[in-house]
Chain A
Amino acid sequence: GAGVSQSPSNKVTEKGKDVELRCDPISGHTALYWYRQRLGQGLEFLIYFQGNSAPDKSGLPSDRFSAERTGESVSTLTIQRTQQEDSAVYLCASSLDGGAGELFFGEGSRLTVL
């Protein structure tokens, strides 16, 4: 597609369940970012992938969070044993590289943990 695609757009889960969120970046974009946005808050950096380099995982809030990226394509963010404080919108963005280019954002995946 022409833009960054995220799925699911909405996910409601029970506390303790695992969830997977998917991001399809723009074709050819080597850089991919995940952010968390809690209700009424700004962007919280989670993880950054750039080409074949080791990802920058410095923003992951706990070991319940992990992310993978297959080559320069799809990325999956996994949250294990979800907690209510994980409820947020998870935004994915991609850019042509990690240089001066702008980020292109998906619409986000809204996660609600009951």
Chain B
Amino acid sequence: AQSVTQLGSHVSVSEGALVLLRCNYSSSVPPYLFWYVQYPNQGLQLLLKYTSAATLVKGINGFEAEFKKSETSFHLTKPSAHMSDAAEYFCAVRHYGGSQGNLIFGKGTKLSVKP
């Protein structure tokens, strides 16, 4: 079965520090991978997506993610955290197994940014 694992339900960094949010997936075929961000009291919005083109994907707000097939990972990074990055981040994999609308979400990682 397809699955998405986000390591760490809560990550805290200092302003200006590197942000690293981890996502590992299981998929029997090359997947489509997504990172979404949810700010408080809002819906989710797309940060970036991987669809088998370049393995390093750049998204909005300075975030990027690298698809590593050998590690089945799609970790999200940002070189320097801003206070405005505090939010919850969800990794998702699009699959074709027919369940849940062909889309599996991780449980989310809440990012806190300390001044």
Residues of A within 8 A of B (CB): 4, 31, 33, 41-43, 45, 48, 50, 56, 58-59, 91, 93, 98-100, 102-108
Contacts and interface: CB of A to CB of B under 8 A. Distances in A.
B12 interface: no
B90 A103 contact: no
Given A42-B105, A42-B108, A43-B90, A105 B44 contact: yes
B42 A100 contact: no
A107 B46 contact: no
Interface string B90-104: 100010001111110
Contact count band on B: 20 to 34
Contacts of B49: 102
B102 to A, nearest CB: 5
A31 B42 CA distance: 21
B106 A45 contact: no
B101 A42 contact: no
Main SS class of interface, A? loop
Contacts, number: 55
A104 B44 CA distance: 8
A105 B43 contact: yes
Interface in B37-95: 42-46, 49, 51, 90, 94
Given A42-B106, A100-B94, A107 B43 contact: yes
Given A43-B108, A56-B101, A103-B46, 17 more contacts: A33-B103, A42-B105, A42-B106, A43-B90, A45-B105, A58-B99, A58-B100, A59-B100, A91-B43, A91-B44, A99-B94, A100-B94, A103-B36, A104-B46, A105-B43, A107-B42, A108-B43
Contacts of B46: 102-104
Given A105-B43, A106-B43, A98 B105 contact: no
Query: Which 3 residue pairs spanning A and B have beta carbons closest together?
Result: A48-B101, A105-B43, A42-B107
